[in-house]
Amino acid sequence: TRAGKGNYPFYMEKEIMEQPEAIKATLAPRYVDGRISLEADGVPDDVLKNCERVCVVACGTAMHAGLVAQSLIRSILRMHMDVEYASEFMYMDPVIDDKTLVLAISQSGETIDTLEALKYARSQGAKSIAVINVKGSSIARESDYVMYTYAGPEIAVASTKAYTTQMAALFALIGRMAVVRGAFNEEQEKAFVDALMQAPDAIQQVLDRKEEMHHIARGLLEAKDAFMLGRGLDYAILLEGALKLKEVSYIHTEAYASGELKHGTIALITEKTPVVALVTQERVRDKELSNIREVQSRGASVVVLVKDGIDLADADYTHVFTLPAMDDVAMAFPASAALQLLAYYVSMDRGLDVDKPRNLAKVVTVE
């Protein structure tokens, strides 16, 4: 083993395990006297206050962090927000003007598609905040403002701690926006901060049970296809969970908004097809359970990841993994850690090179 992996067989596992510390490091500078502050980032309140819409440009995993943020911005700020693949941005006639706040999210800060999209948005008068892990990188230099994630170096090609620290930084940004735009009173800010500060501990609780997930992963080793089902925020989280699984295990995996399955590919759910259902939002529970029954009646083998306290009724699931209960908005943290572990163990037990999936590069500097 190379130096740097410590006692772990792969960087991916080490980086998954580092998440509680990485999130703490990312939140610390933005948590001042019990309140959210972006002062250390130099992001002025009027930038957060005066924009009329928000647009994320990012690729891959970073784009998925943007989708989680979108769900929050809509529900908390009641604001319009687009999330675009940076690689598609230029071909989609993006609606960008001087009232748009662009968020460029990137671990490396060198993804050319994201850099080009950011440059274009700025040329249209947009203000920008880059959420970046690598200090002084090209995207950081191009942006008006930068919020760094403090994930530390991420070596495994499949992104894990970069993603959850991007979420942590975005949550802080959204929290501050909610304060300056009057969407949060003091009490609401406090509740939000409390939930966010519990994220490292919630992730730790999932990581402490990694062998439970290892056991669940064994049920997927022979699969050719897998599906991940959820609604709302759960669906956004699963898009990244599905990317993770397919990247490192080569099992073709699709995240489906649960209600859409019947309009599309439910025919692909046959005997023993693995389905991972995520249920962290109380308000989607009833509908999600009926979607689970639909796929079970077609023979699917269903693993349910459920927030502690949500009643799954008396059905017979292949496995149930209980996620520590936090405020609904923060469930993305423990849920993501569980999905990362699943992908990791499937890849490892299939005997694959977890850290270097074929044909993928950590940093992509071609368009």
Q: Find the part of the chain contacting ligand G6P (CB under 6 A) among 42-50, 286-294, 302-310, 357-365.
A: 357-365
* Strand-pair partners of 302: 275
Residues 187-206 that bind ligand G6P (CB under 6 A): none
CB 321 within 8 A of CB 305: yes
**Is 108 a residue that touches ligand G6P (CB under 6 A)?**
yes
**Is 157 a residue that touches ligand G6P (CB under 6 A)?**
yes
Q: Find the part of the chain contacting ligand G6P (CB under 6 A) among 222-230, 293-301, 304-312, 354-362.
A: 354-362
Q: Of residues 106, 160, 291, 322, which one binds ligand G6P by CB under 6 A?
A: 106
Choose between 57 and 300: whose C-beta lies nearer to ligand G6P. Answer: 57
Q: Note the helical H segments in the chain.
A: 11-17, 19-27, 45-50, 60-72, 86-89, 112-123, 138-142, 161-180, 186-197, 199-207, 210-217, 233-249, 285-296, 332-349
Q: In what order do the strands lie in the sheet with 127-132?
A: 80-85, 53-58, 100-106, 127-132, 145-148
**Is 149 a residue that touches ligand G6P (CB under 6 A)?**
no
CB 138 → ligand G6P: shortest distance, Å?
Answer: 10
The CA-based diameter of the chain, rounded to the nearest angstrom, is 57
**Is 107 a residue that touches ligand G6P (CB under 6 A)?**
yes
Number of residues interacting with ligand G6P: please give it, by CB under 6 A: 16
Residues 251-310 that bind ligand G6P (CB under 6 A): none
**Residue positions counted in the chain:** 367
Stretch (H or E) spanning 281 = none
Choose between 108 and 301: whose C-beta lies nearer to ligand G6P. Answer: 108
Q: Find the part of the chain contacting ligand G6P (CB under 6 A) among 19-27, 104-112, 214-222, 269-277.
A: 104-112
Instruction: Sort strands 80-85 and 100-106 into parallel, antiparallel or unpaired.
Output: unpaired
In the numeric block, the tokens 């025919």 are attached to 267
CA atoms of 58 and 302, how far apart (whole Å): 32
CB 27 → ligand G6P: shortest distance, Å?
Answer: 20
Any residues with CB less than 8 A from the CB of 15 and at least 6 apart, and which? 151, 154, 155, 156, 160, 161
Q: Of residues 59, 193, 195, 196, which one binds ligand G6P by CB under 6 A?
A: 59
**Is 160 a residue that touches ligand G6P (CB under 6 A)?**
no
CA atoms within 13 A of residue 236's CA, in its CB half-sphere: 23
Q: Of residues 90, 197, 221, 364, which one binds ligand G6P by CB under 6 A?
A: 364
Residues that bind ligand G6P (CB under 6 A): 59-62, 106-108, 111, 114, 157, 159, 360-364
